[in-house]
Amino acid sequence: LTGTSREQRAFQYLLAHAIPGDPHHILQTFDQWCYHCEHLSCVGPDKGRIVERVLLERAPLRVLELGTYCGYGTVLLAQGLPPGARLYTIEGDPRHAAVAEKVIRLAGFSEQTVELIVGPSEEVIPHLREKHGLMKADLVFMDHWKRCYLRDLRLLESHQLLAEGATILADNVLFPGAPHFLQYAKTCGKYHCKVHRATLEY
């Protein structure tokens, strides 16, 4: 009725209630909106703790996120990066990317720390090295279309964009589910797999 999207309304709420430059408070305010106003398919606080734990354990210097959406996961990842690390995040929908860009900058992250790349992941991934300077990713967070998980993992492999010992963290592989990705990861012999049980967002 307002002519604005849910994502834009969430950002307006952030502007009104969140503390600029405080990533933790930005995420908390996002959570309040999603619990009490409108549901958004963000990672959320429960699964967010898994992401934070992995970041703490791995301390990755080069992180690739597939599926920026509103920037919630991006802020979550960026706040857990070690000094000197860089995050590349890819969003296929220009409208979502426009909101995410504002959220990321509101949280206080510069383009030197977080680079937002707009375009379909299958078109962006092959050019990450020459266009964006990503030589190899230490951590990949997949939170885009589940049907794209396996295709994009194979693209990352074929373009040699995964560092030795890299971690692939994929959301919602059981529900709504990415069965082909899961089967490949478990049976191809390249990965050690662990499934983290968690609730759905909010």
DSSP three-state, residue 201? coil
Assess whether pLDDT exceeds 70 at residue 185.
yes
Q: Has 186 been annotated as catalytic?
A: no
How many structural domains are present in the chain? Answer: 1
Q: Has 138 been annotated as catalytic?
A: no
Residue 116 within any structural domain of the chain: yes
Instruction: Report pLDDT for 75.
Output: 98
CB 93 within 8 A of CB 65: no
Set 93, 172, 186, 190: catalytic member: 172
This prediction's pTM: 0.96
Set 65, 101, 152, 201: catalytic member: 201
Residue 1 within any structural domain of the chain: no
Residue 157 within any structural domain of the chain: yes
Q: Which range marks the domain in which residue 81 is found?
A: 6-188
Whole-number Å distance between alpha carbons of 57 and 137: 16
Q: Has 171 been annotated as catalytic?
A: yes
CB 91 within 8 A of CB 5: no
DSSP label of 39? -
Q: Which two tokens stand for residue 139?
A: 């951590």
Residue 195 within any structural domain of the chain: no
Residue 199 within any structural domain of the chain: no
Whole-number Å distance between alpha carbons of 116 and 104: 9
Instruction: Report pLDDT for 199.
Output: 82
Residue 66 within any structural domain of the chain: yes
Set 31, 138, 143, 152: catalytic member: 143
Please report which confidence band the pLDDT of residue 1 belongs to, taking 50, 70 and 90 as the band edges.
low
Q: Has 146 been annotated as catalytic?
A: yes
- Number of separate helices (H) and strands (E) present in the chain: 9, 5
* Mean pLDDT for the stretch of residues 33-46: 94
CATH code (residue 52): 3.40.50.150
Residue 194 within any structural domain of the chain: no
* Mean pLDDT for the stretch of residues 163-171: 97
Set 171, 186, 190, 194: catalytic member: 171
Assess whether pLDDT exceeds 80 at residue 2.
no
